[in-house]
Amino acid sequence: MAKVSVVVLGVGSVGRAFLARLARWAPSCHAELALVALADSSAVLFAPSGLPRELWPAIVDHKAAGKPLSSWPGAQPVAELGQLIGKLQPPFVVVDLTASQESLPLLLAACERGAGLVLANKRPLCARYEAWHALNANGLLRYEATVGAGLPVIRLLQYLQAAGETIRRVEAALSGTLGYIFSRVDEGLAFSAAVREAHRAGYTEPDPRDDLGGMDVARKALIIARTLGLGLELADIAVEALYPLRMGSLSVPEFLSAAAELDSTVGRKAALVHGSGRRLRYLATITPEGATVGLREVEPSSPFAALSGPDNLVLVEAGSFPTPIRLAGPGAGPEVTAAAILADLLDLACALQSHS
Ligand SMILES: NC(=O)c1ccc[n+]([C@@H]2O[C@H](COP(=O)([O-])OP(=O)(O)OC[C@H]3O[C@@H](n4cnc5c(N)ncnc54)[C@H](OP(=O)(O)O)[C@@H]3O)[C@@H](O)[C@H]2O)c1
């Protein structure tokens, strides 16, 4: 059985959790894996026969201490990554744990050479539809971690389709950050105060507008839509941002201090909805007609009304199921995300080894 070479791009919070999990798990793995390349934005560590496992914890500690891979002995410039991957013989898998758009050409080139791909990075999957098509061409693309982190959302949708079910509608709360903020608003906090609190606690992106703008949810909605066979582009998704365009040019501190003006728009809407017993939630809706992302007023009886804190909730309406299928739980966090990535990698490694 040929060893499967593994290339990992990204050693951030998810990359480190993944490496730690791989180190714990790999000895009992049926598939034979060799971690041949590991890259951050500065450099790549490359060893065609595999980076020794004893070194992995030290590399993780090095990155956790905020040091770049370029300061690790023997590191090569990250610009050489494409060329190094070009030297690999199949079977190999590229695991993209960056948040970068730049990895797409490298992923496409690897895919053309028969590589498997495992993605936690949503951006390559949200590029133009032809790229999605090309990434899927050899049937060796896995991307469970991109939607709902460790929740098996993509597997559920693929399983239902493989079973011949027609999926009529997917409705989902896919932002842990917005879930947290609206839960705090339910508890009586002003919207702007909830945003500031989430920012202080590190629950938002460094710039909270990255969450409030809705694009992260829109990317997840696009990935769901494409998984269902819809040939949509990101621009086809109607996205409701929770701040006006003119606040886009402020610095982060300026935005946070100006956020009080959102209490008269989003905050006021939440208070009105709350007064009528309903709740305000930020949801993605995907149907065969298209996808939308934005604020919804949900009835007290809706499972979305009961949702509190950062958990995700996905409801799927499918052919023979009389009530929606529900999937709920943590939709972010390095550990649960790493679990989905490892499951995808092992699934691919087994598929690749059985063909080699
Ligand atoms: N965090 C979660 O709970 C979660 C859940 C689901 C999915 N995800 C997705 O998982 C991905 C990683 O998340 P994260 O939280 O680990 O992000 P992060 O901490 O920002 O780490 C990103 C990593 O990618 C590296 N990188 C950036 N550009 C690169 C390039 N061109 N080539 C190679 N490496 C590059 C960065 O290098 P430096 O270290 O040099 O900056 C860093 O190591 C993101 O796409 C995110 O959306 C995250």
Which residue's CA is the nearest one to ligand 1's atom 34? 40
The one catalytic residue among 3, 67, 220, 269: 220
Q: How far is the CA of 204 from the centre of ligand 1 (A)?
A: 15
- DSSP structure string for 48-69: TT---GGGHHHHHHHHHTT--G
3 catalytic, yes or no?
Answer: no
Residue 274 has a pLDDT of 87
Among 3.40.718.10, 3.10.129.10, 3.30.360.10, 3.30.365.10, what is the CATH number of 157-329?
Answer: 3.30.360.10
How far is the CA of 56 from the CAs of 48, 99, 154, 184, in angstroms?
A: 16, 22, 30, 40
Could you tell me the distance, in angstroms and rounded to a whole number, from the CA of residue 71 to the centre of ligand 1? 19
Going by CA atoms, what residue is nearest to atom 8 of ligand 1?
A: 120
Is the pTM higher than 0.85? The answer reads yes
Q: What is the pLDDT of residue 27?
A: 54
Q: Give distance in angstroms: CA of 323 to centre of ligand 1.
A: 37
pLDDT of residue 295: 96
Write down the CATH number for the domain with range 4-149+335-355. 3.40.50.720
Closest C-alpha residue for ligand 1 atom 30: 41
| CA 123 to ligand 1: nearest atom | 45
Domain ranges of the chain: 4-149+335-355, 157-329
Whole-angstrom Cα Rg for the chain: 21
Dihedral-angle region of residue 189 (phi above 0 means left; psi in -120 to 50 means alpha; beta otherwise): beta
CB–CB of 268/215 below 8 Å?
A: no
> Of 31, 232, 200, which is closest to residue 128 (Cα–Cα)?
232
Q: How far is the CA of 99 from the centre of ligand 1 (A)?
A: 5
Tens place of pLDDT per residue across the chain (356 aa)? 678 999 999 999 999 999 999 998 765 556 789 999 999 999 999 999 999 999 999 999 999 999 999 999 999 999 999 999 999 999 999 999 999 999 999 999 999 999 999 999 999 999 999 999 999 999 999 999 999 999 999 999 999 999 999 999 999 999 999 999 999 999 999 999 999 999 998 888 889 999 999 999 999 999 999 999 999 999 999 999 999 999 999 999 999 999 999 999 998 999 899 888 899 999 999 999 999 999 999 999 999 999 988 899 999 999 999 999 999 999 989 999 999 999 999 999 988 887 76
Atom of ligand 1 minimally distant from the CA of 44: 33
CB contact at 8 A, 21 and 339: yes
Residue 94 per-residue DSSP state: E
